Structure formats: C-alpha cells, structure tokens
Amino acid sequence: MDTPRLLRTLAGERTSRPPIWLMRQAGRYLPEYRALRATTPDFIAFCLDPKKAAEATLQPMRRFPLDGAIVFADILLIPRALGQDVWFEAGEGPRLGALPELGVLRDHIEQVAEALSPVGETLSRVRTALEPDRALLGFAGAPWTVLTYMLEGRSSDRTAARTAAYADPERIDALLNVLVEATWRYLAMQAKAGAQVLVLFESWAEGLSEDLFQRLVVEPHRRLIDRLRQAGVTTPVIGFPRGAGALVEGYAHRVDVQGVALDTQASAELGQRVQAMGKVIQGALDPLLLRAGGPALDARVDRLMEQWGDGPHIFNLGHGVLPDTPVSHVEQVIARVTGR
C-alpha cells in the first residue's frame, strides 16, 4: 500500500505499529549534515537554498526507516518575509532587527508565499526523491511563538512579550492577526508544493495563564486553520502547544487540528483523554532520555507505545533531537518502534 502510514494514522486508522518521525531529525547530530552545513555559513541562506535544504531533509531518510520527512527550514523565515531583519549569530542563535510598523508588516502579507517560494521548491525536490509510502511534512512557527521573537529580538524567557500582551492587547492582537494571515498563506504554498502534513510549532505556549493561552494560542490557531480550509487546503494539521500542560485538552477540543503533539510532561491519562476526543496524539519522548540512551530508553519507548496503542498515535519526541545525541541512540529508538 503506497498511502503513507503517517497519513493513514492521521485519518484515524489504527496500524500495526505507530508511524515515527522525529522533530529535528535533520540537523547537527548527523555528521553528514555538519559537512553540508559547513558549505554555507549563513543559516538563512542555507534554509533558502532548495538544493541544500532538500539534501538536509533527505539525509535522515537515507539513514533510518522513518515514516515522514519534515522539510528543513526555520520558523523565523516568516518575520524576514514580512520585512524584519533576521540573522543568526554563531553560537548564540537568532537575532532580529527592529520590529517594522504594523502597516509595513501588513503590506508584506501578500508577498510572503512568493518570498518563501524556495521552501516550496525544497518540498517539491524532496517529494520527487522520497518513496511514495513515506510522508512529507511542512511546517511553520505558530503566531504567538514567532511574535515573541519579533518583539524581543532573540531567544529569551518571553517576559517582555507576555507583559506586552497584558499591557497593549490591541497592538499584540493586531500583530498576531498579521501572522495568522501570513502563516496560512505560507502553509498553503507548502501544501501546493507537496507537503502532505502541516505542523504548527507553538514552541512557547508555556507559562501562559488560561485566558492568555486562549487569546494568544487557541484563537490564532483556530483562525489560521479556518483560513486554510476556506482556501481549499485539506492537508491534515498537527498542532504542538509545547509546555501548555493541562491546557492541551482545551486546545484539542477547540482547535480543528487532526493531530496534537504532546511534550515530555504529558501523562498517559492526558494523552488518552485527547485520543478520546478523536484526535491523533504525537510525541512525549524526552530528548534528554534519547541522548542518555540505555535500557531506560527502551523501557520508555515500550511504555509510550503500550499506553497510547489503543488510539491513533504517532511516535515522536516531546521536543527536538539535541545536537549532541548519539546517532546510535536514534537508531535504537527507531528499531524499537519499527522492528527494523
């Protein structure tokens, strides 16, 4: 059967084993990625080079029997497409320039898909090279997470962004709406280019009060997916409100995603309750345990498959593969899940 296992699972089918892909499965833990990355010092330029980004996407697919390939890109490509300066400092991470005026950002919305068309070309290249029974995933950073970087100019504890959400709600809501409009267009372009699953990474959903979570995460996600569906995009969506804790249940109930990714703190019971809503769940393996390896890793993999095996479940991590993770530990997990 050529229909990818990942797509069958997202459609609600129970398969003989869960499909598996890993967040950050392409990246610095792979020696071949490090060699490729060294050819282009500028990270943004690397992400927007379709030939090299496609190669990075395919590297883990050649090594491992993974069920899905996720396009190599970055969540901060959207601010750049909206007119904000974005660059990466070696050893320090992303930096963003001054936030443009709201009117300037709005003027760029219609241009986002064209500005990020190299990502579409990357997806097309990967889809051509990928076996038909393996799924291709596209993604975007979710509006609140991306806005925290746009407001604070770097990785941070997001204190300033959360304070602004309380102090200047009209401005923050207007900025979120710009990102909703830009992001659905970007994801629609990815679907057209060959992405069969779309992932919304809300990496900084943690620490939000229930009312802020509803306003900054749930409502933007709802609007974004509504806009996708109104545009005729039927591609399944996985939402990942990382760090949301018990608020994940409300997210799963209110947002029309097909899959809900869970982070490392998710309990067996929480996942089962989300499954009972008719949602596919994904994730929860601790990347630190993946790095540590050993019998404890095998035991946790077995436990996750046992506790969530009655409902559709995608095997994944609760966050991304860490750069110093031994390749053999990744092999250990994949073999445990797939039997290969």
Single out the catalytic residue among 8, 17, 37, 63. Answer: 37
Active site residue 222: no
Is 29 assigned a catalytic role? Answer: no
Q: Which of 49, 80, 125, 149 is catalytic?
A: 149
Concerning whether 14 is annotated as a catalytic residue, the answer is: no
Burial of 42 (0-12, 13-18, 19+ CB in 10 A): exposed
Residue of 5, 24, 80, 125 marked catalytic: 24
Is 24 part of the annotated catalytic residue set? yes
- DSSP H helical segments within the chain, as ranges? 5-10, 31-37, 43-47, 50-63, 77-81, 102-108, 112-115, 117-129, 143-152, 159-167, 169-193, 210-213, 219-230, 248-254, 268-276, 287-292, 295-307, 327-338
Q: Respond yes or no: is residue 34 known to be catalytic.
A: no
Which conformational region is residue 158 in: left (phi greater than 0), alpha (psi within -120 to 50 degrees), or beta? left
Q: Which of 74, 185, 242, 263 is catalytic?
A: 74
**Which one is catalytic: 8, 28, 106, 229?**
28
Please list the active-site residues.
24, 28, 37, 74, 149
